[in-house]
Amino acid sequence: MRLMTDLSLRGDASYSRDAWESAAAAVLRKSRRLTDDDPDDQVWDKLTTRTLDGIGLSPLGTPEAVADLAETGLPGQAPYVRGTDAVRDGRWDVRVQHADPDAAKTAEAILDDLENGATSVWLRLGPDAVAVGDLATVLDRVFVDLAPVVIEARADSLGAADAFCRYLDERDVTPAPGTSLGLDPIGALARGYESGLDLPTVVVEGSRKAAERGIGAIVVDATAVHDAGASDAQEIGYALAAGAAYLRILVDAGFGVDDALAAISFRFAATDEQFPTIAKLRAARRTWNRLAELSGGSEPSRGQAQHAVTSRVMLSKFDPWVNMLRTTVATFAAGVGGASSVTVLPFDQPLGLPDAFSRRIARNTSSLLIEESHVGKVTDPAGGAYATEQLTDDLARAGWEELGRIEEAGGVLDAIADGSLAGRHLAVAREREQQIARRKRPLTGLSEFPNLREVLPERQPRPEGAEPVQRWGAAFESLRDEPAATPVFLATMGTIAQHTARVTFVANLLAAGGIDTVAAGPTSSTVDVLDSYDGSPVVCLAGTDAAYAEWGADLIMGLRAAGARWVILAGKPVAGLEVDATAAMGVDALAFLHETRAHLAGPTNGANA
Q: Say if domain 93-415 classifies as CATH 3.50.50.60.
A: no
Residue pLDDT, tens place only, 555-597: 999 999 999 999 999 999 999 999 999 999 989 999 999 999 9
DSSP, res 216: E
Residue pLDDT, tens place only, 497-506: 999 999 999 9
Give the CA diameter of the chain.
Answer: 87
pLDDT band at 14 (very low <50, low <70, confident <90, very high): low
485: left (phi over 0), alpha (psi -120 to 50) or beta: alpha
CA dist., res. 94 & res. 157, Å (int): 24
Average pLDDT value for residue range 89-103: 94
Q: Is the pLDDT of residue 8 over 70?
A: no
Average pLDDT value for residue range 320-338: 98
> What is the domain class of 482-601 according to CATH?
alpha beta
CA dist., res. 120 & res. 178, Å (int): 9
CA dist., res. 587 & res. 601, Å (int): 22
Q: What pairs with residue 566 in β-bridges?
A: 538
Residue (of 76, 109, 117) closest to 93 by Cα position: 117
pLDDT reported for residue 3: 44
Residue pLDDT, tens place only, 150-184: 999 988 899 999 999 999 999 999 999 999 999 99
Q: Are 280 and 296 in contact (CB under 8 A)?
A: no
pLDDT band at 609 (very low <50, low <70, confident <90, very high): very low
* Residue 455 to residues 200, 240, 451, 510, 515, Cα–Cα distance (Å): 49, 43, 9, 19, 16
Q: Is the pLDDT of residue 195 over 90?
A: no
Q: Which helix (H) or strand (E) holds 185?
A: helix 185-190
| pTM: predicted TM-score of the whole model, two decimal places | 0.94
Residue pLDDT, tens place only, 515-555: 999 999 999 999 999 999 999 999 999 999 999 999 999 99
pLDDT reported for residue 385: 92
Provide the residue ranges of all domains of the chain, joining segments of one domain with +.
93-415, 482-601
b (16+ CB within 10 A) / e for 412-443? bbebbeeebbbebbeebbeebbeebbbbebeb
Instruction: Kindly tell me the burial class for residue 483, based on how many C-beta atoms sit within 10 Å of its own C-beta (0-12, 13-18, 19 or more).
Output: middle
CA dist., res. 556 & res. 542, Å (int): 12
